[in-house]
Amino acid sequence: MALSGNRPSAAAWSELIEPGADVRHNTQFRCAATKLSPCGVIWDAVVVAPLERALAALDVLGLPTDGHPVLADYTKQELAVLIPQGSGGALAGLPGTRVLTRGAWLLTPGGRRNCEAATWLSRGEQYVDARALGEALLATDARRAAQSQAGFRAAMGTTKAQQGTCGDTL
């Protein structure tokens, strides 16, 4: 079960784009139940922006929405995915990601209470494979670029056949 408070399990990660009612309630009352957790001791974390992109990549991976430690920061629209310690090098240079390792700290919920800046979407001990996450992010980016290009063409009323080449005469 996705542990984002008092809401049922999600069928897909992308359904977790908005915080649950309990998170909104806790934020209203200034949720102070957070703590800083050290990265690079047992696990590293990959912070991915924007949140929608990160959730789409988890959908591409086909991970269940429970069993993998995943945190949302709804205030920054970022997702933190816990990965095996020392495996973040697989994501080096990937746009929109930061790897938090030894010496870095991650804001996590203190106990079972979530708030907008630190919400467990899923808890568990099964860390996400960093290399697979990187590949899923690249696949997500490629799919979104293709959709954007297709949308642009549709908006402009052109198709590939209508575009012509630079040598065409008018």
Over residues 140-157, the mean pLDDT reads 80
pLDDT of residue 154: 73
pLDDT of residue 71: 96
Over residues 84-106, the mean pLDDT reads 95
DSSP code of 4?
S
- Minimum mean pLDDT among 69-73, 110-114, 166-170: which range? 166-170
pLDDT tens-place string over residues 94-104: 999 999 999 99
Long-range contacts of 53-56 (CB under 8 A, 24+ apart): 53/96, 53/137, 53/140, 53/141, 53/144, 54/78, 54/79, 54/81, 54/137, 55/13, 55/14, 55/16, 55/17, 55/79, 56/13, 56/14, 56/140, 56/144
pLDDT of residue 2: 40
- All structural domains of the chain with their residue ranges: 13-148
Q: How far apart are CA 146 and CA 26, in angstroms?
A: 39
Q: Confidence band (pLDDT; 50, 70, 90) for 142?
A: very high
Q: How far apart are CA 5 and CA 33, in angstroms?
A: 14
Q: How far apart are CA 94 and CA 135, in angstroms?
A: 10
pTM of the predicted model as reported, rounded to 2 decimal places: 0.75
